[in-house]
Homo-oligomer: A and B are copies of this chain.
């Protein structure tokens, strides 16, 4: 298998785009990524796109072809494939592009992610998003994602030393970072009080514990590492790509406070890369809810179970801490257009490794990790990127 590099990145602003359609959004992101790589559309060999639920949000399937068409690439008939794994659709899109290049099947491949969640025609976002859980055993009895993660939080706080204030500090940190990210949906700093005084959504989770409903798209271009310099000198190597599954229902797990797919994918990625946790300079984790960031830091193995709350309070995961987590602002402050999030995480780490993250730059960052979760952890993708 060939080594693979990311040679271009592009991301729309995340937010409520009442003036931009699904297809507008991905064209913006794709154009930005091609421009960043110094490529024209004619140089792209294949396209992968992550999208969770355009079928329900905008009654449109066949997303790969739609994107190839509206970005002008269908005239050359390039392969265009949608992959879906709920909120991990973006991470899996990136992974499929990496596999296609690593195999030698394709050379220059775009991996994109997109979701249009506001200004949509049918149903509620909450019900559509519940399609990421088990419809028969969770959705039909009324479980929503805030409800499912609230169960995780309740179980976790019963068993481990995590205070309500520490949980709030995850959101405070991510808003601090998001305030320094031009593409973030929420660019204001908040306090622990902001979180604790926000409306209760699903006990113990409050509004400011939850990632929002968001429109957005992100795209990256990957190519063989040994050809990357033909295109750019700002490329980043894909050091590892790992993907794991778990039961789709929370109630089928031995321990609902531990996401075993995160444990597995994290271990596989570090093992494939031949790296230890100490080598990782920053990590983008899937903080769809504040409790999810707490679990992710622990399940990825950066600390023991029960310690992430204290580390957050001590500032270890802050921008200037030993292990900056979610320098982009995470899903909480950037927003969470579900299909796009996994690709946005790649964009953030690439920006950091290229030293282009501006006010949220982690000085000297050389190796970064992304962690993208589908549902309550039935799919997890972990990638490690490295400056070479």
Q: Is A151 an interface residue (CB 8 A)?
A: no
Residues of chain B within 8 A of A104, CB atoms compared: 1, 103
Copies of this protein, total: 2
CB of A61 closer than 8 Å to a CB of B: yes
A379 part of interface (Cβ distance < 8 Å): yes
A355 adjacent to chain B (CB < 8 Å): no
A68 CB within 8 Å of chain B: yes
Complex contact B139–A79 (CB within 8 A): no
B1 near A80 (CB under 8 angstroms)? no
Please tell me which one of the listed residues B1, B80, B84, B260 contacts residue A62 in the complex, with CB atoms under 8 A apart: B84
Verify A81–B79 contact, CB threshold 8 A: no
Q: Give the nearest-CB partner of A105 in chain B.
A: B99
Q: Which of A70-78, A153-161, A170-178 contacts B (4 or more CB under 8 A)?
A: A70-78
A105-B135 in contact given A56-B56, A84-B82 (Cβ < 8 Å): no
A58 within 8 A of B: yes
> Does A69 lie at the interface of the complex (its beta carbon under 8 Å from any beta carbon of B)?
yes
A81, B96: Cβ atoms closer than 8 Å: yes
Chain B binder among A208-216, A243-251, A286-294, A327-335:
A243-251
Hey, which chain B residues are within 8 Å of A375, CB to CB?
Answer: 62, 65
How far does the alpha carbon of A249 sit from the alpha carbon of B119 in the complex, in Å?
23
Chain A, interface residues (CB within 8 Å), range = 35 or more
- Which residues in B have their C-beta under 8 angstroms from that of A68? 245, 378
Chain A at the B interface: SS class: mixed
* CB–CB B79/A245 < 8 A: yes
Chain B's nearest CB lies how many Å from the CB of A309? 26
B contact residues around A184 at 8 Å (CB): none
CB-based contact A245/B82 at 8 Å: no
In contact, B244 and A77 (Cβ under 8 angstroms) = yes
A100 within 8 A of B: yes
Contact between A1 and B60 (Cβ–Cβ < 8 Å)?
A: no
Q: Given the complex of chains A and B, what is the CA–CA distance between A100 and B103 in angstroms?
A: 8
Tell me whether A114 is interfacial, beta carbon within 8 Å: no
A315 at interface by CB-CB < 8 Å: no
Q: Are A77 and B246 in contact (CB under 8 A)?
A: yes
Establish whether residues B378 and A69, one from each chain, have CB atoms under 8 Å apart when the complex forms.
Answer: yes
- Whether B65 contacts A248 by the Cβ 8 Å rule is yes
Q: Complex: how many Å from CA A348 to CA B379? A: 32
CA of A99 to CA of B45, assembled, Å:
15
CB distance from A302 to the nearest CB of B (A): 19
A102 within 8 A of B: yes
Please report the C-alpha to C-alpha distance between residue A130 and residue B83 in the assembled complex, in whole angstroms: 19
Pair A85/B82 contact, Cβ less than 8 Å: yes
Within 8 A of B (CB), among A93-112: 96, 99-100, 102-105
Which of chain B's residues have a CB closer than 8 A to the CB of A261?
77
Looking at A21, A66, A261, which has the most chain B CB atoms within 10 Å of its CB? A66
Given A244-B79, A246-B77, check contact A378 B103 (CB 8 Å): no
Binding site for B on A (CB under 8 A): 1, 21, 23, 47, 52-53, 55-56, 58-66, 68-69, 73-74, 77-86, 92, 96, 99-100, 102-105, 127-128, 130-136, 139, 243-249, 252, 260-261, 264-265, 374-375, 378-379
